[in-house]
Amino acid sequence: MIAVFGLAAVAQPLKFVVNQSGGILGYASNISANDVVSQINQQRQNSGASALTTNSTLNQAAFAKAQNMLAQQYWAHVAPDGTQPWFFFKQAGYSYSIAGENLARDFSDTSDMVSAWMQSPTHKENIMNARYRETGVAVVNGTLLGTETTLVVQLFGSAPTNTPKISDTAKTVKASPAPSNRPTTKVAATGSGAVQNITPIPSPPTEITVINAPTSENSTQTLGAEVLPITVLSAPPLFSPLQLMKALFLAIIFVLSSTLFYDWVLMNNSNTVRLVGKNLAHILLLLTIAFLLVFFKGGIIG
């Protein structure tokens, strides 16, 4: 039985190739961007909210965020250098009236990941927010803090209605006072159970000017993407470190349980009395651990 558990744990499909466009992605996972959007929309529709549409610009922004996390080796909404989440919206050229970000890593299955988000009030709030109209998802593999992992970045946004043309906007913005209805960015705070309101965001017209200006930031991003340690999985590894560790533990449990069972049968048949612990209890405990190793799906959300 333990051997069956072991095989089940390590036999998950793993051979996928990284790309940005929403196909099957992921190292040690079968998460795909399309599945993420599909399942998020299913959750929204169950609660009566409209489905999100995939926006290619938001996809790029999500990908840039994932790349940034791998390049700077951090796992947070705000980078160590202070880069805020909406920087990536701007960099990709997406203007918004409201925006949000959900993060996840180490998941091997889309359903588990979406389920984890739905169990977190702050992430759920992002998913269910009826004001969001569009989404972008990136599933990127790489080494984060010494561990090979799959990062998932989902960005939410809603473009401002009646977006003016850029050339006209620049003039308008400079002349007009700041609007009272400022856009907000909501970020699901890791584990805190609270929505973190990030520092004030410039008004939409100002953003449009900044986004489309040929600034040095855009150039930097382009250069940075060339040196990021993203794993392009032309020949992906068969197993993730977590799966290998689970397989090792299951093997140890199998050996220990077999030994305990054999010892127990032997002592019963020879009617030998020993003052030792109860082998059956040990076996039950080890089977419990084996069960959890097989059926527990790890993963962290942020």
Partner 1 sequence: MHREILKHKIAYFVLIIGLIGSIAGFMGVWPNPWLQRAVIGLLVIFYFCWGVFVHRQSGTLTRKIIEEYLVVALFAGGMLLIITF
E strands, the chain, where? 53-54, 98-105, 134-144, 147-158, 184-188, 195-197, 300-301
Number of residues counted as binding partner 1 (CB under 8 A): 33
Which residues lie below 8 Å from residue 217, measured CB to CB, with a gap of 6+? Answer: 91
Query: In the complex, what is the shortest distance from the CB of residue 125 to partner 1, in angstroms, rounded to a whole number?
Result: 16
Query: Under the criterion CB under 8 A, does residue 77 sit at the interface with partner 1?
Result: no
Per rule CB under 8 A, is residue 8 in the interface with partner 1? no
Which residue in the set 38, 92, 120, 189 belongs to the binding site for partner 1 (CB under 8 A)? Answer: 120
Q: Show the 3-state SS of 86-131.
A: HHHHHHHCCCCCEEEEEEEECCCCHHHHHHHHHHCHHHHHHHHCCC
Q: Which of residues 169-228 bind partner 1 (CB under 8 A)?
A: 191
Interface with partner 1 in residues 255-284 (CB under 8 A): 264, 268, 275-278, 280-282, 284
Q: Shortest Cβ distance from residue 150 to partner 1 (Å)? A: 15
Taking CB under 8 A as the criterion, the residue among 11, 47, 251, 291 binding partner 1 is 291
- Contact residues for 263 (Cβ-Cβ < 8 A; gap 6+): 279
Q: Does 51 participate in binding partner 1 (rule CB under 8 A)?
A: no
List, in order, residues 6 or more apart from 255 with CB less than 8 Å away: none
Sites of contact with partner 1 (CB under 8 A): 116, 119-120, 191, 242, 245-246, 249, 252-253, 264, 268, 275-278, 280-282, 284-286, 288-289, 291-293, 295-296, 298-301
